A and B are shown apart, each in its own frame.
Chain A
Amino acid sequence: MAADTVPAVETAARAASIREEFPILGIEAHGRRLAYLDNAATTQKPREVIDAIAGYYTTSNANVHRGVHLLSERATAAFEGARDDVAAYFGAAHRHEIIFTRNATEGINLVAQSWGGRHLAAGDEVLISAMEHHSNIVPWQLACERTGAVLKVVPIDDRGALDMEAFGRLLGPRTKIVAMTQLSNALGTVTPMAEIIRAAHDAGAVVLVDGAQAAYHLPVHVQALGADFYVATGHKLYGPTGIGVLYGREALLDAMPPYQGGGDMIASVTFEKSTWNTLPYKFEAGTPHIEGAVGLGAATRFIRRIGFDWIAAHEADLLAYATAAVSAVPGVRLVGTAPVKASIVSFVMDGVHPHDIGTVVDRMGVAIRTGHHCAQPVMARFGVPATARASLAMYNTREDIDQLVDALHDVRRVFA
């Protein structure tokens, strides 16, 4: 695997040069070098994404799909060009299988309501895992309330790995959909998604993959994976907030009713009856987040330029380094030690609440997340109210980790 073939020193030099492409990483935090380790919450944006958005507004801004003038043609070309970029990034068979949403959450809600409303009935089962983000729990609870379907939860073990035996037992003829994360935001666990999808398909269920975390750490090819639905969010892909992606297989999307009504999603409207536009527009009511899509398109090109061979190797090297360094701090215990992980080091420290850790390290220039990470069931599973979480991206370096570890020693000194 690529992770074993790229020397650490080479990846470090490249990471340092990539860091230069992110203007915000040059600022100081409380008078210190900024060590940004809250990437699972959102990533920073490279210059070319910022320039793409500014460029759109300075050369192309208009509404899409309706004007006949120059700027509207440019805006439409930029918006639809971004769809091509995103379709290529995720390996979709058709560009119209890419629906632009606000975020991953909206993608899941769209499927839970539109697909769920048509396909779920009393006694049917929806299968999720015990490490889902709230955004892949609550939409299914709402769908179950409306339809009488039952939510089933695959447990995780003490390391935070998915219990695949239990998954096999819980997957049955009543399972209509499996909705599962590819990479846990609270634990860093990478789930065996190809295996999950094969088993689900054998059982006659469709699969929604929550790729909000995975899509910027792992190469994703929805066709190779066999995903029926795949959701992701732009702001974690080094792109803007407010733009997300739902991939759906054409046949599934075609058979689903619209999610929201409005402009752009119709073919014709009379007061007696309206008919729906074709894919993807059936699911994109109203003026879309045009500059968001443009920024996301640029972000996917940026990531593909860097390449996942290098990204995965660099992040794996850095995760191993961070895991060893953080767990060597006295009193620190890692939460989430699954055998296959990416990006995330979640931890607690004896006698110190995560919020106090977060406040102290912030003053040392280190940005981490503290809290329940929108995964309260995960916190309950591990018996902690909250954790501190350092999460990596391609531009992080060992210097960031060293800065975090130094700051954690300061935390120890304050609360000794």
Chain B
Amino acid sequence: MSDGLQELYQEVILDHNRRPRNFRVIAGGATQEGYNPLCGDRVLVSMAIDHGVVRDVAFEGQGCAIAKASASLMTEALKGLTVAEAQERFAQFQSMVTSAHDEPPADLGKLSVLAGVREFPTRVKCASLAWHAAKAVLDGAPAAPVSTE
């Protein structure tokens, strides 16, 4: 297998694809659907926000390994952050998966496993889908399904 593929499909990603974390809908939470009609990936992000803090994040849906793992890792990354911190994390994540940097920003921790997506331009939209849905909730602007295509 090529190096690029090993970089893309790291063990952490394969694990989150097989066993996605927080794969559920939060009762009473704010929700936002993300849908990429061209590839059929669909995600429903739900979030419980209390006094400006993200108390809980979850997702449901279907998609490729990159879309599912990214959504799963996102739920872990955003939980406990303030809304402002979560919005900042969104911006950092977007920068990581779209930038041409050789090294991902150091402070993204576990999310850095998704940096390999940069080498696969057609897959950036997969990694970004759940994040854009989360962003809509964080911005308090849930709407028609968001898309990253």
- Do A and B actually bind? yes
Q: Determine if A122 is an interface residue (Cβ-Cβ < 8 Å).
A: no
- The residue of chain A having its C-beta at the shortest distance from the C-beta of B1 within the complex is A410
Complex CA gap A414/B66 in Å reads: 13
**A contact residues, range:** 20 to 34
| Distance to closest chain B CB from A106 (angstroms) | 21
List A residues 362-413 near B (Cβ within 8 Å): 363-364, 370-372, 379, 385-386, 410, 413
Q: Determine if A30 is an interface residue (Cβ-Cβ < 8 Å).
A: yes
| Distance to closest chain B CB from A197 (angstroms) | 34
Complex CA gap A123/B31 in Å reads: 42
Per-residue interface assignment for chain A, residues 336 to 354, with 1 indicating a CB less than 8 Å from any chain B CB and 0 otherwise: 0000000000000001111
Complex CA gap A360/B120 in Å reads: 11
Complex CA gap A356/B39 in Å reads: 11
Q: Determine if A327 is an interface residue (Cβ-Cβ < 8 Å).
A: no
Per-residue interface assignment for chain A, residues 52 to 82, with 1 indicating a CB less than 8 Å from any chain B CB and 0 otherwise: 0000000000000000000000000000000
Residues in A neighbouring B2, C-beta threshold 8 A? 30, 363-364
Per-residue interface assignment for chain B, residues 105 to 139, with 1 indicating a CB less than 8 Å from any chain A CB and 0 otherwise: 00000000000000010110010000000000000
Check A359 against B123 for contact (C-beta < 8 Å). yes
Check A371 against B40 for contact (C-beta < 8 Å). yes
| Distance to closest chain B CB from A49 (angstroms) | 28
Complex CA gap A61/B42 in Å reads: 49
Complex CA gap A354/B120 in Å reads: 15
| Distance to closest chain A CB from B36 (angstroms) | 10
Residues in B neighbouring A415, C-beta threshold 8 A? 9, 14, 17, 65
Residues in A neighbouring B1, C-beta threshold 8 A? 360, 363, 410, 413-414
Complex CA gap A353/B17 in Å reads: 10
Check B39 against A360 for contact (C-beta < 8 Å). no
Q: Determine if A159 is an interface residue (Cβ-Cβ < 8 Å).
A: no
Check B123 against A371 for contact (C-beta < 8 Å). no
Check B5 against A363 for contact (C-beta < 8 Å). yes
Q: Determine if B38 is an interface residue (Cβ-Cβ < 8 Å).
A: yes
Check A356 against B64 for contact (C-beta < 8 Å). yes
Residues in B neighbouring A363, C-beta threshold 8 A? 1-2, 4-5
Q: Determine if A355 is an interface residue (Cβ-Cβ < 8 Å).
A: yes
- The residue of chain A having its C-beta at the shortest distance from the C-beta of B63 within the complex is A353
Complex CA gap A356/B8 in Å reads: 10
Residues in A neighbouring B40, C-beta threshold 8 A? 371-372, 379, 385-386
Residues in B neighbouring A414, C-beta threshold 8 A? 1, 5, 9, 14
- A356 with B5, Cβ < 8 A, contacts A386-B40, A415-B14 known: no
Q: Determine if B99 is an interface residue (Cβ-Cβ < 8 Å).
A: no
Complex CA gap A354/B40 in Å reads: 10
Check B4 against A353 for contact (C-beta < 8 Å). no
- The residue of chain A having its C-beta at the shortest distance from the C-beta of B6 within the complex is A414
Residues in A neighbouring B18, C-beta threshold 8 A? 351
- The residue of chain A having its C-beta at the shortest distance from the C-beta of B18 within the complex is A351
Residues in A neighbouring B92, C-beta threshold 8 A? none
- A355 with B9, Cβ < 8 A, contacts A410-B1, A414-B1 known: no
Complex CA gap A353/B9 in Å reads: 13
| Distance to closest chain A CB from B74 (angstroms) | 18
Complex CA gap A410/B18 in Å reads: 17
Complex CA gap A414/B10 in Å reads: 9
Complex CA gap A355/B1 in Å reads: 17
- A355 with B62, Cβ < 8 A, contacts A386-B40, A414-B1 known: no
| Distance to closest chain A CB from B83 (angstroms) | 32
| Distance to closest chain A CB from B123 (angstroms) | 6
Residues in A neighbouring B64, C-beta threshold 8 A? 353-356
Residues in A neighbouring B65, C-beta threshold 8 A? 352-353, 356, 415
Residues in B neighbouring A353, C-beta threshold 8 A? 63-65
Complex CA gap A19/B17 in Å reads: 39
Taking a contact as CB atoms closer than 8 A, the residue among B41, B42, B120 that contacts A359 in the complex is B120
Taking a contact as CB atoms closer than 8 A, the residue among B17, B62, B123 that contacts A385 in the complex is B62
Taking a contact as CB atoms closer than 8 A, the residue among B38, B42, B66 that contacts A356 in the complex is B66
Complex CA gap A360/B39 in Å reads: 16
Complex CA gap A274/B7 in Å reads: 64
- The residue of chain B having its C-beta at the shortest distance from the C-beta of A360 within the complex is B5
Complex CA gap A370/B4 in Å reads: 20
Complex CA gap A372/B39 in Å reads: 7
Complex CA gap A372/B62 in Å reads: 14
In the A-B complex, the 8 residue pairs with the smallest Cβ-Cβ separation, listed nearest first, are A353-B64, A385-B40, A355-B64, A363-B2, A356-B65, A386-B40, A356-B64, A363-B5
Query: A356-B64, A372-B39 known; 13 other A-B pairs, CB under 8 Å?
Result: A353-B63, A353-B64, A355-B123, A359-B5, A359-B8, A360-B5, A360-B9, A364-B2, A372-B38, A385-B42, A385-B62, A386-B39, A414-B14
Selected A-B contacts with CB under 8 Å, 27 pairs: A30-B4, A351-B18, A352-B65, A353-B63, A355-B64, A355-B123, A355-B126, A356-B9, A356-B65, A356-B66, A359-B5, A359-B122, A360-B9, A363-B1, A363-B2, A363-B4, A363-B5, A371-B39, A372-B38, A372-B39, A372-B40, A386-B40, A413-B1, A414-B1, A414-B9, A415-B14, A415-B17
